[in-house]
Amino acid sequence: MKAYDHEYLKLLSKQYPTIAAASTEIVNLQSILNLPAATEHFISDVHGEFEQFNHVLRNGSGAIRRKIDEGFGNTLTQKDKRDLAALIYYPEERLQLIIEEEENLDDWYRIMLHRLVQVTKRAASKYTRSKVRKALPRDFAYIIEELITEKEEIEDKERYYNEIIHTIIRIGRAKEFIIALSELIQRLVVDHLHIVGDIYDRGPGPHMIMDMLMEHHSVDIQWGNHDISWIGAAAGSAACIATVLRISARYGNLNILEEGYGINLVPLAKFALETYGDDPCEVFSIRGGKDYDTRDMALDMKMHKAITILQLKLEGQLIKRCPCFGMEDRLLLDKIDLKKGCITLDGKTYTLKDKSFPTIDPADPYDLSAEEYVVMGKLKQAFLHSEKLQKHVRFLLAKGGLYKVHNGNLLYHGCVPLNADGSFKSVNLFGKKLSGRALYDALESYVRKGYYSKEERQERRRGLDVMWYIWAGPGSPVFGKDKMATFESYFIEDKKASSEIKNSYYRLYEQEEVLDKILAEFGLDPKGAHIINGHVPVQVKKGDTPLKCGGKLLIIDGGFSKAYHSKTGISGYTLIVNSHGMWLVAHELFESKEASVLKGTDIISDSFAVEEYGRRHFVADTDIGAELKRSIAGLEALLDAYREGELKEKGD
């Protein structure tokens, strides 16, 4: 026995000090390997749409309704099934209505408790009793365990089973018990959640989504470019702070910063009024949603312009500071003819839609004015000291990364940057040319340095700059375009000037050899593996499909954001992977939470199989299964050591 093996087994023996203890654990782990693989839920590009995200998470992309259909078949009407599903999604709100309207509440309680117990049994059936026990709410753990493990059809248990439910109703705990069962079903139906990028921007509730994710029992996150810009802002990147503010202003969501994160925007508002008080700022219109208070519009437009100019200046400074990024073509402020109100790009002169630039110094267009320096200083401090924002960003860093290899699938937001010939695109990061997986790893390392590093000032500074590059750089995996045409989209009428060319990845992803090369680069066997991808809305209205290359690549951004609905025609794609296969779910536009509570309406979802497994997948087929097999091998080696006398049992 090798020395290091012996040391490992000595450590293992502290946890399993006897042959009996090790043997019991082997039996336990071996039995877990033969359970059906748990259900995974993949969601991408939520973009701050809390209400819809909340509903999709609660209904498990239709998984709860499928459990109801499987459990009750034709024994319940469609209305009864809808009502039961709505109760599970929103138990507190539905109960409030039922209590007010139901004439015989005890009978209703009894019927619903029986139905909820049946759904809970079905949802819990693929897990070990130990795992289910850990998920049980503390107040009702014993009772629920009794109800979902007893077989009521056995005559001598039926009375016992019914008496439990009768007593719950009699002592006035039915309401709380229904809520507990409903929340347990939501938890058990989906074992693990994957967020494949872009929680932030456009919609009004990213902070509420983050709160919800922090309460979730099992989640991982692949960062999108919008998430990275918020991480950069929280870390103190001035360019990222300006980006976050500009997008929030553009979509009428400044209240996310003020009310959601407690960031004081008064300095920016005051500066905008003083600088652009007589400027109508018509170019900087607000794309507010139905809840946007139009009384704020005039001020918001001025703030929108003020922060946009600041962003363009700060980006220019960063591009000059980091020539390795190769983004000199984005230095546009020095190309403006301030007197004539025009700009010449690629030999063509454009008249600017807005010609007022009171803070731009022709001698140094990228220098901040004294007032702008003060404003940015105060904003930076506000971001750095927002307790809630810092908590959310630390969660993103703890649970997230730029990619994830999981159960034979590769998850990332955006693309793997490619050259026109399908080779991996090389990016210069401070003198090192990187591509493929090495590029991802280096970029992610810089993100963490930019946020956490306290000692290495240069590495922290580089990390902050890299975060902005990940947001908008031509070699960024989560951006995937040749440029971010912010200036052109605001100031130039000709739409051709603001066109952004996608990376070659989006032209080549129907070629199997290209996808196989990407999968192999990340250590996966291309046979049977999939890439799960977000970032680009699937334009169903134009006949686009989320399945690429025969289903080897799945794009699950179908347009959660309301800003995309006119293009996509639907309200998003999600993905469900369970022991039977992979299922894409296309969601129609969501009416509202209120409609679901009041009328039992649900998101109309159409699911279709991406892949149906030839045989059912078990825990043994998953990454967790591989870990369990390694643990079993170690325990079996420990047994051999005990039996061969190389280690002594440590009994009581």
**Beta strand 530-533 with 553-555: parallel, antiparallel or unpaired?**
parallel
Q: Where are the domains of the chain?
A: 3-33+632-643, 40-196+534-617, 219-398+443-503
Band (1; pLDDT cuts 50, 70, 90): very low
pLDDT digits (tens, 9 = 90+) for 376-391: 999 999 999 999 999 9
Determine the pLDDT at residue 599.
58
* pTM of this structure: 0.92
Question: Residue 401 carries which DSSP code?
Answer: E
Band (107; pLDDT cuts 50, 70, 90): very high
Q: Mean pLDDT in the chain?
A: 91
Please name the amino acid found at residue 348: K
Q: DSSP string covering 95-118, please?
A: HHHHHHH-SSHHHHHHHHHHHHHH
Band (631; pLDDT cuts 50, 70, 90): very high
The four Cα atoms 192, 45, 260, 255 give a dihedral, to 10 degrees, of -160
Determine the pLDDT at residue 93.
92
| 64 token code pair | 């709860």
Share of the chain above pLDDT 70, in %: 92
- C-alpha dihedral sign at 14, 16, 17, 19: negative
Angle between helix 370-384 and helix 297-321 axes, rounded to 10 deg: 90
Tokens 């959640």 belong to residue: 193
pLDDT digits (tens, 9 = 90+) for 408-425: 999 999 999 999 999 999
Determine the pLDDT at residue 292.
85
Please name the amino acid found at residue 159: R
By the 10 Å C-beta count (0-12 exposed, 13-18 middle, 19+ buried), 529 is classed as buried
More confident residue, 624 or 128: 624
Q: Is the pLDDT of residue 319 over 50?
A: yes
Tokens 């007022």 belong to residue: 356
